Amino acid sequence: MLKKRVITACFLLPSVVLAVIFLPSPSFAIISGLIFLLAIWEWTYLAGFESKISRTLCLLLFPLVILLLITILQWLGREVLEEGLFLLLVAFWLFALYSLYHYPKSLLFSESRVIGVISGCLVLVPAWVLLVALQYSEPKLVLYILALIWMADITAFFVGKRFGRHKLAPSISPGKTWEGVLGALSVSFLIIGLGYSILQPGMSILSWVILGIISVVFSIVGDLFESSYKRIRNIKDSGTLLPGHGGMLDRIDSLTAAIPMFTIGFMFFNRP
């Protein structure tokens, strides 16, 4: 399994870097959109829809949400919508953190297919929209947040395997440990420092560190939130598309929370 993970990662990493740096924004939006559509397809099963017809109907709901956001954007104006969406996303991920803390008592919410679809919309649509917006404004920031989250994830995996003793959320993801979390946070400080020195993001080092740590913490929340739905369905992976990594959703689950938090925080700290 580890060999497959490494081989798949060696193929994906250069592809992602080249796409972020060299693809024009419209092309990047289309390709990343296809990736997120695959993740959405996997989410429909986690939400409780099993037939291809019902899953296809759910899949069509997500583009409709994007069109609705564009319509509201044109009606309300960009600034009003941005502030409203940012508050909604922060509230949603704080609620996700709350539901994870109270798991399995929160199963009543997670087992609802309606709530599952709504959660999927809030998990995946904003992450894709903000990823595209970030790539359009500054591709280097996309590479930074990807490097930060993936390095934290890799370090957590190996540190947890080697030193893990204290379970982080045994009823949701038995393999995750507090030792792995500490390993992820430790390597994060290195990536955050390198990112600040290379990118010169135009904010204080303290703000940059806080933003990076918040992004890493919520990447763990995003991972666990998807895992809670997998526990309901009693499956290990969301799919089999990526050898050694599971489904597409398994590969981007950490980013679904980290990208919105990073983008929202970056815009907040860089307000004039």
Confidence of residue 200 (pLDDT cuts 50, 70, 90): confident
Residue with tokens 């135009």: 202
Contacts of residue 9, Cβ cutoff 8 Å, sequence gap at least 6: 245
Average pLDDT over the chain, rounded to an integer: 84
Q: Beta strands 167-169 and 173-177: pairing type?
A: antiparallel
Say whether pLDDT at 70 is over 80. Answer: no
- Rounded Cα distance between 185 and 179, Å, is 10
Percent of the chain scoring above 90 in pLDDT: 36
| Model pLDDT, residue 245 | 54
Q: Which two tokens stand for residue 96?
A: 């996700």
Confidence check: pLDDT of 195 > 90 = yes
Q: How confident is the model at residue 115 (pLDDT cuts 50, 70, 90)?
A: confident
pLDDT given at position 4: 60
78 — pLDDT class (breaks 50, 70, 90): low
In whole angstroms, give the CA distance from residue 23 to residue 33.
14
Q: What is the token pair recorded at 29? A: 């939006």
In 3D space, the residue among 172, 178, 182, 170 whose CA is nearest the CA of residue 253 turns out to be: 172
Q: Which residue has the higher pLDDT, 220 or 251?
A: 220
Give the pLDDT band (50/70/90) at residue 17.
confident
Most confident stretch, 41-50, 194-203, 226-235: 194-203
- Exposed, middle or buried, 117 (CB in 10 Å: 0-12/13-18/19+)? buried
pLDDT digits (tens, 9 = 90+) for 126-158: 899 899 999 998 999 999 999 999 999 989 989
User: Does pLDDT of 65 surpass 80?
Assistant: no
**pLDDT of 135:** 93
The answer to pTM > 0.85 is yes
Determine how many CB atoms are found less than 10 A away from the CB of residue 166. 13
Separation in Å, CA 110 to CA 9, 13, 28, 259: 31, 33, 32, 23
What's the total number of domains in the chain? 1
Residue 14's pLDDT is 80
Is the per-residue pLDDT at 1 higher than 60?
no
Report pLDDT for 121: 85
